[in-house]
């Protein structure tokens, strides 16, 4: 099947900067997207999700943008903190009978320098 991929495998930022993590998807039938954060030795932690009928969704310090025209998803983290250092995964769900089965991208390593 089609897979989710990431443009940048690593991202280094200074504390206080804004971070942008990108994700490209190729399955035009995908209708639900999720961002997860994974710290070393731990399971993925839900950050934010967005459905295909939206193009932007905001949470606490995080914003997800969806551009269906170019099949692109991004995660913006405002005022990045050292505790944000982790691997970030985007995941897509095709919906329909496949609803609930996620396809994950490879991940982006975010490093925040004090």
Partner 1 sequence: NAGVTQTPKFQVLKTGQSMTLQCAQDMNHNSMYWYRQDPGMGLRLIYYSASEGTTDKGEVPNGYNVSRLNKREFSLRLESAAPSQTSVYFCASSGRQGKDTQYFGPGTRLTVL
Chain residues in the site for partner 1 (CB under 8 A): 1, 4, 32, 34, 36, 41-46, 49, 89, 91, 93, 95, 98-107
Query: For partner 1, which is the closer residue by CB, 12 or 14?
Result: 12
Opening angle at CA 59, ends 66 and 114, nearest 5: 100
| C-alpha closest to that of 105 among 21, 48, 40, 42 | 21
Extract the tokens encoding 26. 């190729």
Query: For partner 1, which is the closer residue by CB, 41 or 114?
Result: 41
Q: Note whether 111 and 11 are within 8 A (CB).
A: yes
- Residue 104 CB, shortest distance to partner 1, in Å, is 3
Query: For partner 1, which is the closer residue by CB, 10 or 18?
Result: 10
């Amino acid at each position: 099947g089609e897979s989710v991929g990431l443009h940048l495998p690593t991202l280094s930022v200074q504390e206080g900067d804004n971070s942008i993590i990108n994700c490209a998807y190729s399955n035009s039938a995908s209708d639900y997207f999720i961002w997860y954060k994974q710290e070393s030795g731990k399971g993925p932690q839900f950050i934010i999700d967005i459905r295909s009928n939206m193009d932007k969704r905001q949470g606490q310090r995080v914003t997800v943008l969806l551009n269906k025209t170019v099949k692109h998803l991004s995660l913006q983290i405002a005022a990045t903190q050292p505790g944000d250092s982790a691997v970030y995964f985007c995941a897509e769900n095709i919906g329909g009978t496949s609803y609930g089965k996620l396809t994950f991208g490879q991940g982006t390593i975010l490093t925040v320098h004090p």
